[in-house]
Amino acid sequence: MASFIPRASKRLRLGAPSSQWICNDCRRTFASSIQSRQQQQPASSQRVGQDEKTTHFGYQTVAEDLKAGRVRDVFSSVASNYDTMNDLMSLGIHRLWKDHFVRSLNPGIPPSSRTHHPDQGMKILDIAGGTGDIAFRHLDHSSTINADHHTSVIVSDINPDMLAEGRKRFAASPYHATGRVSFLEANAEELGAVESGSIDLYTVAFGIRNFTHKQNALEEAFRVLKPGGVFACLEFTPQLSNPLLNAVYKRWSFGAIPLIGQIVAADRDSYQYLVESIERFPSQQKFAGMIRKAGFLIPGQDPKDEVVRSGWEDLTMGIAAIHKGVKPA
């Protein structure tokens, strides 16, 4: 995978700081998109009461209790074109990232580790995994690499349309009727249907940036995992490591992706939101700090060190990153 997922290149040292650099044309695109959508919304949806808690929905500020519904609407809109959406967002590389993500986790229990319990398998919870992209990879890896035909996956998503796509795909797969996959419609911030300490591996790919309360979701992940269980997240990052490539990528993201979304899926607004949501996601270091705050041990990080300096792997010059945490045994 090294040839497909190069490490982040050295930073180019420029005179002006680049961490927040966005071109003027892109800013005009953002403003135009936001203004257009606000004009289309009822006035009541644009006003937020003084006492209401607010959060971001892309570059808009909305009441917290409205965000989940809006995110649900976005993914209902793109559910049938989900693969196309990810191809546009990642220039098609998301398939390689997902392959690498799952291989790095090595799901399943190899025969040498289950000599006394031949029917033993891992219990995996895949959050925001409606269409089954990651779940298929978990099951394929456990079956073909670890000869484990007992590992199972719970595919959880807040959006019923995404889950419907996943059910459709699994119904046409060899895993249909094997009892190794189940579906759960749930909010990742409140996983009441999942018992505490019942999960071996918790994964979320390209989903956590859409959560209203990310810290709550991380704490729920900690709760449902068994001691020694692993939290793993694959997500886009807000900034590339190379400032020049970052500038080019921003022009592509904000200029081309919403336009292509309009042409391919007749849905510019959803794609505009998805691009904006990446910009609002925490940096790798900050998100790793949030994972540790939830109680996880960060791989390669001294628990006594106040500053988190590791725990993530940048992919393709930092377009995306893999984060991991381990629940203390």
The annotated binding site for S-adenosyl-L-methionine is made up of 131, 157, 187-188
Calpha distance 16→27 (Å, rounded):
18
Structure tokens at 174: 């060899």
Q: Binding site, residues?
A: 131, 157, 187-188
Cα gap 264→11, rounded to integer Å? 35
- Cα dihedral 301, 239, 94, 136, rounded to 10, equals 40
Residue 123 CB neighbour total at 10 angstroms: 17
Tokens describing residue 90: 């990642």
Tokens of 72: 């649900």
Q: Which 3 state secondary structure label does DSSP give 55? A: strand
**H/E element, 250:** helix 243-251
Question: H/E element holding 169?
Answer: helix 160-171
Q: What is the DSSP string of 74-138?
A: HHHHHGGGHHHHHHHHHTTTHHHHHHHHHHHH--S--GGG-SS-TT---EEEEET-TT-HHHHHH
The token pair that represents 41 in the structure block: 């919304």
Number of Cβ within 10 Å of residue 279's Cβ equals: 19
Neighbouring CB atoms inside 10 A of 59's CB total 17
